[in-house]
Structure 1
Amino acid sequence: MIPAKANTHPQVKTSSRNLRLKSTLIGWSFVLVAAAMIFMFYFYPMIQALILSFQSGKGANLSFVGVENYARLLKDPIFLTTVKNTLLYLIIQVPLMIILAIFFSVLLNNQALKWKGFYRTAIFLPAVTSLVAYSVIFKYLFGQDGIINIMLMKLSIINAPIPFLTDPFWAKVTIIIAITWRWTGYNMIFFLSALQNIDQSIYEAAKMDGASSIQTFFKITVPMLKPIILFTSITSTIGTLQLFDEVMNITKGGPGNSTMTISQYIYNLSFKYSPDFGYAATVSYAIVIMIVFLAIIQFKVAGEKND
């Protein structure tokens, strides 16, 4: 009997090793498929766009020009205008949106509030609406004879319609209102989920120590939300630097390029003007550089410090 048992050990080890090898191969097959898809649809186009940014020409007639396209950026008045417009949206809209998202999340996290589900859905609903559809609606709402102007005139707040879409200042205000309305609810969900994970005993201890609601908010809630604030700031910065749909559908970049964003300029270079795909790729990588630069600043300013 002992020799029979001894003979079974190599078979068991071989079977176990084959099973582990089979499991490993199956796991890697799933990973390799996903990795191949990511490389094909993400990294390969990025590499091709980088190569394209060093070329110039009309349509498909491209030739290598080195860093000439990048030097052209600093002398391009339209590009500089789009950068100024985009950064203006970023500086005003992102902090405003994050403050509103925190405000709504704190209100909707109140256990005594009734109909919380309804309010959360109502505020989040704009985030799942069609970008084109809501942009067109905002265009009609803020038109010369739109509902906003009609209501303001009926309330005797203004005497004449405000040129929301034809005045450079008011056109920017309309774009900022539109993107704030669209993305506040989206960011609110992140803050709301973070608030629900904060131990309520911390608030109870602060209340027993005599801390007011304002002190509790700034000394407990905001520090606890710091990682989410950083995350939403970075993602919102990326989204704003890539802003396209709202401007394209509400103002078309006008009046006189006063609302045009960098992404819309890329579209115009590729499809509206005489096609210059090489320079359009260069402008695209300008966005990448700006995103990396601003993300590093945000990590330095608001990121966790390593002791």
Structure 2
Amino acid sequence: MITLEKKRPSPPLGVKGRWWTEKRKNAFSGYLFILPFFLLFAVFGLFPILFSFQLAFFKWDGLNEKVFVGWENFQLILNDALFWKSLYNTFLIGIMGTLPQLIVALVLASALNSRMVRYRHLFRVAYFLPFVTSIVAVSVIFSIIFSSNPAGLANVLLSWVGISPIHWDTSEWGVKIAISVMVFWRWVGYNTIIYLAGLQSIPRELYEAAKIDGASVLQQWRHITLPMLKPVVIFTVFLSTIGSLQLFTEPLVFMGRNLREEGMTVVLYLYRDAFNQFAFGTASATAVVLFIIIAAFSVLNVLLANRIGKGGGL
């Protein structure tokens, strides 16, 4: 007996019957649009990072063959007093330039958010202008302001209060103060705009309800503004911490080719090893150590942010 097997009907040439569906077309076009970024990041971002990690274990001057030395590069920099001096300078200048900057930015943002201030839009542009100004131009101007010459602007201002002229580019604290003021001036406007955006996102109804309940301005600031502004504050602290650890252009332009230890930062120490002494191995080892330090501070910031977000104080 012959049985005829029923033949299943072929699926229609619709969306389900094709592998190259409309959904996959859209996904492919989306990936195609973002592909240039990943290609550029792989060439100019990922490859240098991986190459630096590899180079940290080799001795190389950029021309001759690389020689594997193991952990010797790390031992050299960790036993170098100048490296620890640069790390100390980095932390100190970062604190001096960042902490006052965040506080002043919050005060300026609160003033710009007030309806009592006239020409608020003009002030917003003025405060943000230093951020979009060329950092090299900023550093050159501040090098003139903090000139060691008695006729320099900073020394003239100090002479009005009876303080003798300071050698800003050679003294221990003079260099740090000059670079910190430079960092403060450049970034305070950026953080002001960030804080202003956070303040404007707070509903006005909360302040109106607080006024009806008899809350003072200080109480409104403490119980409404600061709690609602926590994510923005954490964001600015996070970025400022990473930025302060990567400080490079300001001290380089301010001190010029005279890379004195008073203003030496970790990135400047790395730059000196790589492009002045052509010791790319120790420079890469320094970069790896700096990467670990930044990663540790990033994890610490995340842990503190999570703790604050669960009800801890600001």
- TM-score normalised by length of structure 2: 0.87
Equivalent position of 2:4 in the other structure: none
Q: 1:202: which partner in 2?
A: 206
Cα 1:77–1:252 shift into 2, 3 Å: farther
8 Å CA contact 2:131–2:187 kept in 1: the answer is: yes
1:281 alignment partner, SS class: helix
What's the counterpart of residue 122 of structure 2? Answer: 118
Query: Following superposition, which runs of at least 4 residues in structure 1 exceed 6 angstroms of deviation?
Result: none
Which residue in the other structure is 1:150 paired with?
Answer: 156
1:43 equivalenced with 2:35 (yes/no): no
Q: Is the 8 Å Cα contact of residues 90 and 245 (structure 2) preserved in structure 1?
A: yes
Aligned counterpart for 1:10 among listed residues 8, 12, 17: 12
Q: Secondary structure at the match of 1:211?
A: coil
Name the CA shift for 1:57/1:122 in 2 (closer, same or farther; >3 Å). same
Once residues 244 and 238 of structure 2 are traced to their aligned partners in structure 1, the CA distance between those partners, rounded to angstroms, is: 10
| Whole-angstrom CA distance in 2 between matches of 1:17 and 1:254 | 63
- Counterparts of 1:1-307 in structure 2 under 5 Å? 10-13=12-15, 14=17, 18-61=21-64, 62-143=66-147, 144=149, 145-153=151-159, 156-158=160-162, 160-252=164-256, 256-273=260-277, 275-303=278-306, 304-305=308-309
One-letter code aligned to 2:12: P
CA distance in 2, matches of 1:159, 1:279: 42
Q: Distance in 2 between matches of 1:104 and 1:54?
A: 48
Question: Cα offset for 1:253?
Answer: 8.3
**Mean alpha-carbon deviation: is it higher for 264-273 or for 12-21?**
12-21
d(CA) in 2 for partners of 1:90, 1:151: 25
* Contact 2:252–2:259 (CA under 8 A) maintained in structure 1: no
Which 10-residue stretch deviates more, 189-198 or 28-37? 28-37
Listed one character per residue, the Cα deviations across residues 93-128 of structure 1 (whole Å, up to 9, x for unaligned) are 221111111111111001221100111111111111
CA shift in 2, pair 1:16/1:94, >3 Å: same
1:134 positional shift: 0.8
Q: 1:193 to 1:159 in 2, by over 3 A?
A: closer
Aligned pairs, number:
298
1:36 is matched by which residue type in structure 2?
L
Query: RMSD in angstroms over aligned alpha carbons?
Result: 2.3
- Return the letter of the residue paired with 1:10: P
User: What is the deviation of 1:235?
Assistant: 0.9
Query: Percentage identity across aligned positions?
Result: 34
Q: CA deviation at 1:194?
A: 0.8
Structure 2 unpaired stretches of 5+: 1-8
Q: TM-score, normalised by structure 1?
A: 0.89
Check 1:18–1:298 CA distance in 2 against 1; reply closer, same or farther (3 A cut).
Answer: closer
How far, CA to CA, are the matches of 1:132 and 1:76 in structure 2?
A: 30
Of Structure 1 and Structure 2, which has the larger fraction of its residues in helix?
Answer: 1
Alpha-carbon distance between aligned partners in 2 of 1:159 and 1:91, rounded to the nearest angstrom? 25
> How many angstroms does 1:256 deviate by?
4.0
Q: Secondary structure at the match of 1:227?
A: helix
How far the C-alpha of 1:60 sits from its partner, in A, is: 3.1
Shift of 1:12: 4.0
For residues 83 and 227 of structure 1, what CA distance do their matches in structure 2 show? 29
What secondary structure sits across from 1:112 in the alignment? coil
Letter in 1 for 2:54: I
